[in-house]
Amino acid sequence: MYASQRRNEIYKLAQERQFISVAELSALYQVSEVTIRSDLKFLEQQGKLQKNYGGAAINPDVLQPLSQNVLRLSDIKASIAHQAAALIEEGDSLFLDASSTTILLADYIAKMNNVTVITNSIPIFDKLKEYHNGTVISISGTLNPYSQSFVGPFAEEMISKIRVSKAFIAPKGILPEGLRDNIVQEAAIRKKMIESAEKVIVLADHSKFNNENFVFSISNFDKVHRLVTDQTPKEPFFSLFQQKGIEVGITDHTNSEG
């Protein structure tokens, strides 16, 4: 991974958490703490972060507009989850990956009957831990504290032994070559879910398209059946999805209440 890509990801992580530690980032990106401190210094010089003892925090001067953007994207993700919920039928078995959009989707599933949910996401499991009208199966493995999910060979093996009717996948990026992620272990989990599902539904807001910050390949579009997004995809995606026979659902994020 190039330094510029890593720094972009570090900044996005800081946006989500407000504070990030040097030790955590060193383990996450498998580089030395010296390299991470250099990254944080670079971001501080750009005015994006403020270095603190053991890590860095978001610069308060950029926090307010950032919060507004997060709220806007949250509304969009809620509308995507709302439309995705309409694709779930009684008796379905589902893979839900570890993403903010599938966490919102879990709220709708909690009101459904006779649905089986299989997930590696701790927040989704927490939302559905009292789901008495269906079945919840937790995929275990190695904890990824960043995504609050279980990853690794054990989790991948478990997924490969299960077959589901639908997988809901929310990748970090979408390129013409396929779906992308920012963490190799997360990419591997999503890949296994796609391989083990009869139908694959991709959930992605417009910011995910042509986002080249995410370098780890999940899959191409061969097994994708449907995409739920908030804007009509631009070229070359529009033609590509037509060629692949991928149905595209465009949300109305002014009406996302379930």
The mean pLDDT value for 205-219 works out to: 85
Mean pLDDT, the chain, rounded, equals: 88
Fold matches, 3-58 and 73-250: no
* Better-predicted residue by pLDDT, 39 or 14: 39
> Where are the chain's structural domains?
3-58, 73-250
Confidence of residue 220 (pLDDT cuts 50, 70, 90): very high
| Adjacent-strand bridge partners of 182 | none
pLDDT at 231 over 60: yes
Phi/psi class of residue 18: alpha, beta or left (left: φ > 0; alpha: ψ in -120 to 50)? left
pLDDT at residue number 253: 60
**Which class is 73-250 in CATH?**
alpha beta
pTM score, two decimals? 0.74
The mean pLDDT value for 117-121 works out to: 97
What does the alpha-carbon distance between residue 86 and residue 105 come to, in Å, rounded to a whole number? Answer: 10
User: Residue holding tokens 């190695």?
Assistant: 142
* Better-predicted residue by pLDDT, 21 or 225: 225
Neighbours of 217 (CB within 10 A): 17
The CB-side HSE value for 102 (13 A sphere, CA atoms) comes to: 30
Hey, which CATH number is domain 3-58, 1.10.10.10, 1.10.540.10, 3.20.20.70, 3.90.380.10? 1.10.10.10
Q: Which of 99, 77, 87 is nearest to 206 (CA)?
A: 77
pLDDT at residue number 254: 52
Q: In the chain, what percentage of residues exceed pLDDT 70?
A: 90
pLDDT at 157 over 80: yes
* 120 in Cβ contact with 139 (< 8 Å): yes
User: Residue holding tokens 């809901």?
Assistant: 168
User: Dihedral angle at the C-alpha atoms of 207, 104, 149, 138, nearest 10 degrees?
Assistant: -140
